[in-house]
Chains A and B, each alone.
Chain A
Amino acid sequence: MTTTPAAASAPAQDRSAVRTLLRLWPYVRPVRARLFTAAFVAIVASCVGLVIPLVLKWMVDGPVADRDPAGVWLGALYLLLLGCAEALLFGLRRWLVARPLSGVEAAMRADLYRHLQRLPVAFHDRWPSGQLLSRGTTDLMLLRMFLAFPLTFLLVNGVTIVVGVVIMLVQDWTLGLVVLGPAVPMIVTCAVFERRYSEVARRAQDQVGDLTTVVEESVLGIRIIKGFGRHRSQARAFRELSRRLRGTELRKARLLAAIWAVIVTLPELAIGAALVVGAVRVADGALSAGTLVAFLSTALALRWPVESIGFLLAMSQEAATATQRYFEVMDERVETPGPDVPGDRAHGPEARGPKARGPETRGAAARGPEARGDGGGTGRGGTADGLRFENVRFRYPDADPGSPPVLDGIDLHIRSGESMALVGATGSGKTTLTALVPRLHEITGGRITLDGRDIAELPREELRAMVSVAFEEPTLFSASVAENVLMGAGDTADEARLRRALAVASAEFVHALPRGTDTQVGEQGLSLSGGQRQRLALARAVVGRPRFLVLDDPLSALDVHTEAAVEAALRRVLADTTALIVAHRPSTVLLADRVALLSGGRITAVGTHQELLRTNAEYAHLMSGAGEDDDR
Chain B
Amino acid sequence: MTAPTTTAPAQDGPGDDRAPGADGDPFDRDVLPTPPGATAALLRSLLAPMRARVAVTTLLLLLQQAALQAGPLLVAYAIDHAVPALRDGDRAPLIAVGAGYLLCSAAGGALQYAFVRAAARVNQDVLLDLRGRIFRHAQALSVDFHERYTSGRLISRATTDVESLRELLSEGLQELVTVVLSFVSISAMLLWLDLGLGAVAVASFGPLYALVRSYRRRAGRVYRKRSTAIAAVIVKFVETMNGIRPVRAFRREAANDAGFAVLNRRHERTNGDALLEMARYVTGSRLVANTAVAGIVLWGAQRVADGTLALGVLAAAVLYLRRLYDPIDRLGMFLNSYQSAAASLEKIAGLLAQTPSVPEPAAPKELPPTASEHPGREVVFEGVSFAYRTGGEVLPRFDLTIPAGQTVAVVGSTGAGKSTLAKLLARFYDPTRGRVLLDGTDLRDLAVPELRRGVVMVTQEAFLFSGTVAENIALGRPEATRQEIERAAKAIGAHDFIGALPDGYDTDVRKRGGRISAGQRQLVAFARALLADPAVLILDEATSSLDVPGERAVQRAMATVLHGRTAVVIAHRLSTVEIADRVLVMEDGRIVEDGSPAELIAGTGRFADLHRAWRDSLA
Q: Are B97 and A275 in contact (CB under 8 A)?
A: yes
Contact of A499 with B by CB under 8 A: no
Residue in B155, B239, B613 whose CB lies within 8 Å of A219: B155
| Residues in A neighbouring B234, C-beta threshold 8 A | 133, 137
Q: Are A88 and B513 in contact (CB under 8 A)?
A: no
- Bound form: Cα–Cα A532–B416 in Å: 12
The yes or no answer to A203 lying at the interface (CB within 8 A) is: no
- Fill in one digit per residue for B75-87: 1 if any A CB lies within 8 Å of its CB, else 0: 1001100111011
Instruction: Give complex CA distance A593, B255 in Å.
Output: 36
Residues of B within 8 A of A426 (CB): 497, 517, 519-520, 523, 546-547, 550
- Contact yes or no, A230 B475, CB < 8 A: yes
Report whether A242 and B128 are in contact in the complex, using a CB–CB cutoff of 8 Å: yes
Asked if B94 and A280 sit within 8 Å, CB to CB, the answer is yes
With beta carbons under 8 angstroms apart, the residue of A136, A227, A242 that contacts B132 is A242
**Chain B residues numbered 375-390 whose CB sits less than 8 Å from any CB in chain A:** 390
Once A113-B237, A137-B230 are accepted as A-B contacts, the answer to whether A562 and B151 lie under 8 Å apart by CB is: no
Q: Chain A contacts of B589 at CB under 8 A?
A: none
Asked if B36 lies at the interface with its beta carbon under 8 angstroms from chain A, I say no
A residues in contact with B239, CB < 8 Å = 477-478, 522-523
Shortest Cβ distance from residue B543 to the other chain A in the assembled complex, whole angstroms: 9
Q: Are the CB atoms of A300 and B319 closer together than 8 Å?
A: yes
Contact across chains for A235 and B98 when beta carbons are under 8 A apart: no
Residue of B nearest to A262 (CB): B109
Asked if A98 contacts B108 (CB within 8 A), the reply is no
Q: Which of A102, A221, A243 contacts B271 (CB 8 A)?
A: A102
Q: Does A530 contact B456, Cβ atoms closer than 8 Å?
A: no
B69 to chain A, nearest CB (A): 11
Among A15-23, A159-167, A618-626, the one that faces the other chain is A618-626
Kindly state whether residue A399 has any CB partner on chain B within 8 Å.
yes
B373 sits at the interface (CB 8 A): no
CB contact list, A247-278 vs B, under 8 A: 249-250, 252-254, 256-258, 260-262, 264-265, 268-269, 271-273, 275-276, 278
For A102, the closest partner residue in chain B by CB is B271
Task: Tell me if A331 is interfacial: C-beta within 8 Å of chain B.
Answer: no
Cβ contact within 8 Å between B294 and A264: no
**Binary per-residue interface labels of chain A (69-103) against chain B in the complex, 1 for a CB within 8 Å, 0 otherwise:** 10011011101101110111011011101110111
Are A475's CB and B549's CB within 8 A?
A: no
Within 8 A of A (CB), among B129-156: 131-132, 135-136, 138-140, 142-143, 146-147, 150-152, 154-155
A51 contacts chain B at the CB level, 8 A cutoff: no
Known: A215-B155, A230-B475, A464-B251. A475 touches B101 (CB 8 A): no
Cross-chain contact of A257 among B108, B117, B249, B412 (Cβ < 8 A): B117
Interface centre among B78, B154, B240, B459 (most CB of A within 10 A): B78
Confirm or deny: A116 has a beta carbon within 8 angstroms of a beta carbon on chain B: yes
- Please tell me if A190 contacts chain B, counting CB pairs below 8 Å: no
User: Once bound together, how far apart are the Cα atoms of A218 and B147, in whole Å?
Assistant: 13
A552→B366 CA distance, assembly (Å): 46
Q: A113-B257, A137-B159, A238-B132 are in contact. Are A559 and B544 (CB under 8 A)?
A: no
Q: Tell me the nearest residue of chain A to B145, going by C-beta.
A: A222
B534 CB, min distance to chain A CBs, angstroms: 9
Q: Once bound together, how far apart are the Cα atoms of A461 and B457, in whole Å?
A: 42
CA distance A435 to B244 in the complex (A): 12
Q: Determine if B109 and A265 form an interchain contact, defined as CB atoms under 8 angstroms apart.
A: yes
Closest to A590 in B: B619
| Residue of A113, A231, A257, A258 with highest tally of chain B CB at under 10 A | A113
Q: With contacts A76-B295, A234-B139, A561-B613 known, is A530 near B541, CB below 8 A?
A: yes
CB pair A216–B151 under 8 Å, yes or no, is: yes
CB proximity to B under 8 Å, residues A493-546: 509, 520, 522-524, 526-527, 529-532, 537, 540
Tell me the nearest residue of chain B to A272, going by C-beta. Answer: B101
Known: A282-B83, A403-B513, A561-B613. A276 touches B237 (CB 8 A): no
Q: How far is the CB of B404 from chain A (nearest CB, A)?
A: 21
Query: Quick one: which of B83, B457, B549 has the most chain A CB within 10 A?
Result: B549
Q: Which residues of B contact A88 (CB under 8 A)?
A: 283, 287
CB neighbours of B280 from chain A (8 A)? 91
Q: Which residues of B have CB within 8 Å of A608?
A: none
Q: Give the contacting residue for A76; candidates B278, B294, B500; CB below 8 A.
A: B294
Separation of A431 and B547 alpha carbons in the complex (Å): 13
In the assembled complex, the Cα of A131 lies from the Cα of B497 at a distance in Å of 29
User: Counting CB contacts under 8 A, is B302 at the interface?
Assistant: yes
Q: Tell me which residues across on chain A come within 8 A of B115, comparing CB atoms.
A: 257
Within 8 Å of chain A (Cβ to Cβ): is B104? yes
Does B117 lie within 8 Å of A254, measured CB to CB?
yes
In the complex, are the beta carbons of B532 and A87 less than 8 A apart?
A: no
Q: A276-B94, A440-B245 are in contact. Are A117 and B619 (CB under 8 A)?
A: no
**A271-B101, A279-B79, A625-B548 in contact; A475/B242 too (CB < 8 A)?**
yes
Which of A409-417, A450-458, A479-487, A571-579 forms contacts with chain B? A479-487
A residues in contact with B553, CB < 8 Å? 632
A171-179, A194-202, A289-297, A354-362: which one contacts chain B? A289-297
Known: A229-B451, A300-B322, A622-B547. A260 touches B113 (CB 8 A): yes
Residues of A with C-beta under 8 A to B123: 249
Q: Which of A40-76 touch B at CB < 8 Å?
A: 52-53, 56, 59-60, 63-64, 67-69, 72-73, 75-76
Q: Which of A102, A283, A587 contacts B86 (CB 8 A)?
A: A283
- Contact with A562, one of B240, B414, B493 (Cβ below 8 angstroms): B414
Of the listed stretches B189-197, B433-441, B463-471, B595-603, name the one at the interface; the rest are far from the partner chain. Answer: B463-471
| Contact status of A530 and B461, CB under 8 A, knowing A76-B298, A464-B251 | yes
Q: Which residue of A lies closest to B261 (CB)?
A: A110
Closest to B545 in A: A556
Q: Which A580-632 residues have a C-beta within 8 angstroms of B?
A: 584-587, 590, 609, 621-625, 628-629, 632
On whether A279 and B428 interact (CB within 8 A), knowing A69-B305, A225-B139, the answer reads no
CB distance from B490 to the nearest CB of A (A): 11
- The reply to whether the CB of A125 lies closer than 8 angstroms to some CB of chain B is yes
Determine if A264 and B112 form an interchain contact, defined as CB atoms under 8 angstroms apart. yes
Query: Knowing A223-B428, A480-B3, A585-B548 touch, does A59 contact B150 (C-beta < 8 A)?
Result: no
Q: List 23 A-B contacts (CB under 8 A).
A: A82-B290, A98-B275, A106-B265, A109-B233, A138-B160, A217-B466, A219-B138, A222-B146, A239-B128, A242-B127, A249-B123, A249-B124, A250-B121, A257-B116, A264-B109, A275-B78, A278-B78, A300-B319, A403-B502, A423-B547, A477-B2, A526-B392, A585-B548
Extra A-B contacts (17), CB below 8 Å, given A423-B547, A531-B572: A1-B466, A67-B305, A94-B276, A220-B463, A231-B140, A233-B478, A234-B139, A239-B132, A246-B124, A289-B311, A426-B547, A469-B246, A523-B235, A560-B610, A563-B617, A584-B519, A632-B549
- Across the A-B interface, give the 4 residue pairs with the lowest CB-CB distance, nearest first: A83-B290, A91-B283, A229-B452, A272-B101
